Amino acid sequence: MKILALADIESPNFYERFDISPYRGVEGVISCGDVMPELLTYIATMLNVPVFYVHGNHDEIYLKRAPEGCENIDGRLVEFKGKRILGLGGSIRYSEGRFQFTEKEMEKRIRRLYFKLRKGVDIVVAHSPPAGIHETGDFAHRGFKAFLQLIMKYQPKYFLHGHTHMNYVYNSKRITEVGKTKVINCSGIILLELEE
């Protein structure tokens, strides 16, 4: 399954110059947060495929202007083309932002989904990384321990995230394997061929 994944695109210039042609044949789009709502609306219109998103820590604009033609999966589990996809947006709490959570708050969000997760999950879509993976040195870009526990318990095939821009850390890795799970930093824009 061919997926277009993106995160952390806050510049209107990117939206205005976006070339859709390399993304023909994409079956779905996943936003890991902090993407201009106009860009997601544009992609949904041009590609005419389902667009799923979670909130990033800078996405309070979505409360006034949500992306049109896109599905918010933050705090939900949905099915798409036989894949069970879990959405968990937001970052570690470092200020008073609406989409920031303490470690305990994120644990509670995951516990609320216990009954839905009993059948397993194939793809986790988050804004922040798991603790110790793709993190940067500052507090605001720490990952969640709750995400690492989620990976260990449910072993999804993929854990997609943004938040830690690829240029934040010299020689940063885009993909890290944790057991059976591929943790993928989707900051920027990336085409993914997900296994059937």
Q: What's the domain count of the chain? A: 1
**What pLDDT score was predicted for residue 167?**
66
Q: What is the pTM of this model?
A: 0.94
* CATH number of 185's domain: 3.60.21.10
Domain containing residue 185: 2-193
How do residues 57-115 score in pLDDT, each as one tens digit?
999 999 999 999 999 999 999 999 999 999 999 999 999 889 999 999 999 999 999 99
Give Rg (Cα) of the chain: 15
